[in-house]
Amino acid sequence: MVAKIRLYVDHPLGAEQSVPLSRDHAHYLFGVMRQGVGAQVLLFNGRDGEWRAEVAEAGKRGGILTCLEQSAPLRMPPDLWLLFAPIKKARTDFIVEKAAEMGAARIIPVQTDFTNSDRIRQDRLQAHAIEAAEQCGGTFVPEVADLHRLDRLLADWPADRQLVFCDETLAGETGHLDPADRARPGAILIGPEGGFSDAERTRLRGLPFTRSITLGPRILRADTAAVAALTLWQSQLGDWP
Amino acid sequence: MVAKIRLYVDHPLGAEQSVPLSRDHAHYLFGVMRQGVGAQVLLFNGRDGEWRAEVAEAGKRGGILTCLEQSAPLRMPPDLWLLFAPIKKARTDFIVEKAAEMGAARIIPVQTDFTNSDRIRQDRLQAHAIEAAEQCGGTFVPEVADLHRLDRLLADWPADRQLVFCDETLAGETGHLDPADRARPGAILIGPEGGFSDAERTRLRGLPFTRSITLGPRILRADTAAVAALTLWQSQLGDWP
């Protein structure tokens, strides 16, 4: 099996389009992967689908690719946001990677009452989302937003977007998605390891656009909860058949 | 918030039961966590539920705890196995951790046609399952089996146990669980990064106890697929309400 090399480029893609390579990509493609002029790779930019391209020039600090033909159309995920409270570095990276794989359209780190961090490395998290799309055959890359305060996000919340609130205190009770909400834009909110504060929980439950669901009788880590909630949403309201 | 210390011990637990501490646990409890005589911790052994216990003796190389009262009953997960093909070390560890969190009763690493590794560190994976149970409030620890060959496992398969086969070539088609299978013991099979071989796929589809399901239109990494499939099973056939 020859591994297909897929690269995300921030450049327009189209028939016979020339695409310059960044220094990092040139290093990866020609240095690490030992490719040269004539080699074929797959390119995507999150807008124009996936294109088969050929190396036209190869250098140590850059190169040029030429697009040959579109190999896959742009495939947009459903209009789903994932809101999560940043946790330890490795698990935060993991949540972003998984959200990209599972088809979240937008990823928003949120600061809650029990969130320890007051800033994130947005650029690093965005790079993780790109890498996940490269690895997983995605043609779309979710935007990773900067850290938002949860209370302010809720104050400005668009009323038509349903906010699915994974409430760990619901364990044992019924709490599930409703197929009638299939047409609505959605969002999933995953709390930090310490859960939500009582004030936050009371407020969330009282908002007209939230829906509380349970993720079962066991306590899940935040990263597990993110994948589980994305699975429920995509399989019941999203684009899983 | 005071973090509750939970320890797994391989020792009977019951009223007034004395429990000796291993060197590792003594180091953790008295050295790292700075606890001493009179401190309370939670113990579980996978059989007797969770017990509140008090430190009776504390030393550098060991100690003795005395059980006070049962703080939670034993909670068994549904009769669900997770079969997965070992992948890179960090992601294999992760699958075991997530399977324990998500309530798999038994975890079986399997060797498939496209599996690279021919052995696993069973003891290390078992330790990950224990750590996940300690972290997540579980009172049960799934057994991590040694590496099995998939073909032999299938040859000896118990006919009443449904094997849910996550078939990535199904993307776009319908493939889902059937509520009628709720009473059956179950198993989930996650393939390696390269997928299953054609021979394996043909065989799996032809077996009377398998059911093919899809995990959506995007390609998922094996660790993501494991959490997604466990979510579908637990929410539709398992112990989520």
**Whether residues B180 and B232 fall in one domain:** yes
**CB contact, 8 Å: A138 with chain B?**
yes
**Whether residues A58 and A153 fall in one domain:** no
**Whether residues A47 and A115 fall in one domain:** no
Chain A residue numbers touching B77 (CB-CB < 8 A): 218
pLDDT at B172 over 70: no
- The more confidently predicted of residues B92 and A194 is B92
Rounded Cα–Cα distance for residues A68 and B174 (Å): 34
pLDDT at B89 over 90: no
**CATH code of the domain in which B145 resides:** 3.40.1280.10
Asked whether residue B201 is domain-assigned, the answer is yes
**Whether residues B193 and B90 fall in one domain:** yes
**Whether residues B232 and B118 fall in one domain:** yes
**Whether residues B200 and B228 fall in one domain:** yes
Asked whether residue B169 is domain-assigned, the answer is yes
**CB contact, 8 Å: A60 with chain B?**
no
Mean of pLDDT over chain B: 92
End position of a domain, from candidates B56, B72, B88: B72
User: Which residue in the set B194, B214, B231 is minimally distant from A228, CB to CB?
Assistant: B231
**CB contact, 8 Å: A162 with chain B?**
no
Is B240 close to A214, i.e. CB distance below 8 A? yes
**Whether residues B64 and B90 fall in one domain:** no
**Whether residues A47 and A134 fall in one domain:** no
**Whether residues A102 and A215 fall in one domain:** yes
End position of a domain, from candidates A23, A53, A72: A72
Rounded Cα–Cα distance for residues A86 and A115 (Å): 7
Chain B residue numbers touching A135 (CB-CB < 8 A): 221
Mutation for testing the B interface, residue in A44, A76, A193, A218 having most B CBs under 10 Å:
A218
Read off the pLDDT of residues B107-164 as tens digits, 9 standing for 90 and up.
Answer: 999 999 998 777 889 999 999 999 999 988 899 999 999 999 999 999 999 999 999 9
Rounded Cα–Cα distance for residues A195 and A201 (Å): 9
What pLDDT score does A131 carry?
94
Compute, in degrees rounded to 10, the torsion defined by CA atoms B209, B214, B219, B223: -50
End position of a domain, from candidates A23, A51, A72: A72
Is B98 close to A224, i.e. CB distance below 8 A? yes
Is B98 close to A172, i.e. CB distance below 8 A? no
**Whether residues B45 and B129 fall in one domain:** no
Is A136 close to B101, i.e. CB distance below 8 A? no
Rounded Cα–Cα distance for residues A195 and B1 (Å): 12
Give A233 to chain B, closest Cα distance, Å.
11
Structure tokens of A85? 């409270």
**Whether residues A98 and A32 fall in one domain:** no
Q: What is the ipTM of this complex?
A: 0.91
A213 Cβ contact partners less than 8 Å away, ≥ 6 residues apart: A164, A165, A166, A167, A170, A175, A176, A177, A229, A232
What is the extent of the structural domain holding A31?
6-72
Q: Which residue of B has its CA nearest to A139?
A: B218
Scored b (16 or more CB within 10 A) or e, A1-22 reads eeeebbbbbebebeeebebebe
Per the confidence metrics, is the pTM higher than 0.90?
yes
Rounded Cα–Cα distance for residues A91 and A105 (Å): 20
Phi, psi at A149, each rounded to 5°: -80, 130
Asked whether residue B1 is domain-assigned, the answer is no
**CB contact, 8 Å: A135 with chain B?**
yes
- On whether the CB atoms of residues B136 and A218 are closer than 8 A, the answer is yes
**CATH code of the domain in which B19 resides:** 2.40.240.20
Is A172 close to B75, i.e. CB distance below 8 A? no
Residues of chain A with pLDDT > 90, as a percent, come to: 78
**Whether residues B19 and B84 fall in one domain:** no
